[in-house]
Amino acid sequence: MELKRDKSHEGDHERISPVLLKSRTGEFDLESILFLKLRNQGIHDLGCIGECVNIEKLDLSGNNVNNLSSLASLRLLSVLNLCANRISNLDPLRNCESLQNINLCGNLINSFECLYALQSLRKLENIRLKDNTYNYSNPVCRNAAYRTHVLEMFPNIKVLDGERVVGRGSDLYQLCKDIDDTIKAGSYKNGQLVEQSDCKPWVEDHFWEIKRSNNAIVDEAYKQFNDVLHECRLLNNRATHVISQTERSMSLKKQSKQYAL
């Protein structure tokens, strides 16, 4: 869908202009803008965005941006969403020293070398290069060693593609994944599901049985314990019988009412 240009406002949402920023944020001074969301505006030229030197959060997702040079001056930028653009060069982001969270899924990043520009960002802890929910990715994500290589490049990040890799929650995630992989590997042989008929119990037979003793006190306690268990079983059987009778009675009453109607 072609964007309509508003000539009375220099008019052009394909390029970020001071008028566009002021109309979106209500700020007359570009340096006062701290948060900015410009999703799905057809923007391909970042224009004067570099003058927003105090901006902390910026969302440019769903545009046609392919040149990030205007972002080089944004040293306070901590959250940057560039999802679904046409970006292949990340070099201008080297100077965004406060960057902590960046979303790059749905772009044209085709090699690990393109990511080198982000390695100098010491505060970076969350990187997203693919999003399976929306089927957004990058060519580099098709590499078989993608995840391993990215984690080696960025040993300090906490989240990759929405999954925690360090910190609370990551160990449990990895443990569950390892268990799942192990179960799957053991359940198939030559591509066929194998019945697990040779499973062995965790403990030996009679492990849970109470050992008899020559001590009269222990023997008496054992006898009383078994008597209590026997009474519990009887009570359980009686309760089951009463519940069954009650359910049957209620069912018969319900049927009689239906016939009466």
CA 3 to chain centre: 34
The structure tokens listed for 144 are 């078989």
Q: What is the pLDDT of residue 242?
A: 85
pLDDT in tens, the chain (261 residues): 233 333 333 334 689 999 999 999 999 899 999 999 999 999 999 999 999 999 999 999 999 999 999 999 999 999 999 999 999 999 999 999 999 999 999 999 999 999 999 999 999 999 999 998 889 999 999 999 999 999 999 999 999 999 888 755 555 556 666 666 666 666 555 555 555 555 566 656 666 565 655 666 666 677 777 777 788 888 888 888 888 888 888 877 666 666 555
Q: What distance in Å separates the CA atoms of residue 90 and residue 98, rounded to the nearest whole number?
A: 15
**Half-sphere exposure at residue 22, Cβ-oriented, CA atoms within 13 angstroms:** 9
Cβ proximity of 90 and 109 under 8 Å: yes
Tell me the C-alpha to C-alpha distance, in Å, between residue 157 and each of 18, 115, 128, 163: 35, 14, 11, 11
The residue to which tokens 């040079």 are assigned: 69
Give the other-Cβ count within 10 Å of 20's Cβ: 22
Q: Taking the model in full, what pTM does it have? A: 0.62
